[in-house]
A = this chain, B = another copy of it.
Amino acid sequence: MLDHAVAEDLLPLSTEAAGVYLFGENFEEIIGLLRRGITAMAAAEPFRRLTIPPVISRRTIERAGYVGSFPQLLGTVHSYPGDGRSWGKLSPLVESGGDWYRDHTISDVVLLPAACYPVYPTLEGRELAGPARFHVDATCFRQEASSETGRLRSFRMVELVTAGTPDHCASWRERWLARVGEWLSAAGLSVSVEVADDPFFGPGRKLFQEAQRLQELKFELRVAVSGDTVQAIASANYHKEHFGEVFEFTAGGEVGHTACTAFGLERIALALINAHGPAVRDWPAEVVAVLGGTGA
């Protein structure tokens, strides 16, 4: 990375925690462009917009199946349950570098692993009169082990989500996969679209991944984010009846299906910086226009 780019806050700033960055104005200008572009693409459908906090009910995440599938990525939130008097015995450990957190207990919230999870409980027990659509924006957390460029632990994700019949969800996902690929390509990125799987964990891992691939439930849009490092910067997913069964919503009298398309904002920004340089002011005007939804 270029020294002047670091000096001018063009690139994310490292912190004492790996994979956790601060973002300056230029980087946020890119994030803002992406948000406007996604909003412009979404204008053709009546999405309900929701801003989602970075923590979520632990029970929601347990019910949604995340703990069973991706426990290695989940950050649980713990806190001190005692009173001030009992803290008096632990407080000297802060200064001495001891385990002041040894009496901490798990709380009722966890870090949000993907932006869409909070929307499914809003449909709980409902029969959907027509397709439901959500446009959500959140900062997510995944306890990633790698320190590869773009593999942030704290990162922002915009998702477009729909719930409805199987036919609706399947064709909606196909349409958005194409639409997002066109948008990223028009912004000068070299995109490959690939059938993908999720990082399931534990004994059933290979079986789940194989089933997911066979059914083509997940497509990733992959782009170089730095040199030869290629990562998924967006994805389009069909969850079938998974969330409908858990949260008991229906469409046309049958278990509701869901699908989503997800945008990894920092990764898209890094891919754009990799392709066009760190400063937005130096990018081709048509790239800026396409990204922000004001171009062709």
Contacts and interface: CB of A to CB of B under 8 A. Distances in A.
Interface stretch (A15-23, A159-167, A184-192, A231-239): A15-23
A202 B84 contact: yes
Interface in A198-227: 201-203, 205
B48 A121 contact: no
Given A55-B111, A79-B75, A95-B68, A50 B13 contact: yes
A207 to B, nearest CB: 13
A141 interface: yes
B79 A143 contact: yes
Given A56-B15, A76-B77, A109 B20 contact: yes
Interface string A44-62: 0000111111111111101
A153 B54 CA distance: 11
A78 interface: yes
A24 B48 CA distance: 8
A72 interface: yes
A88 to B, nearest CB: 5
A22 B115 CA distance: 11
Identical subunits present: 2
Interface string A91-115: 1001100001100101111010000
Nearest to A22: B50
A89 to B, nearest CB: 10
A87 interface: yes
Nearest to A21: B53
A261 to B, nearest CB: 20
A250 interface: no
A4 B275 CA distance: 48
A193 interface: no
B107 A75 contact: yes
B84 A79 contact: no
B15 A57 contact: yes
Given A53-B22, A84-B201, A104 B121 contact: no
A147 interface: no
Nearest to A87: B202
Given A49-B28, A67-B94, A78-B78, A57 B20 contact: yes
30 contacts: A13-B50, A13-B122, A15-B121, A16-B57, A16-B59, A16-B121, A17-B60, A23-B50, A24-B50, A53-B139, A53-B154, A54-B55, A55-B111, A55-B153, A67-B94, A67-B100, A68-B91, A68-B95, A71-B94, A72-B80, A72-B87, A75-B78, A75-B109, A76-B104, A77-B77, A84-B205, A85-B203, A88-B202, A104-B106, A109-B153
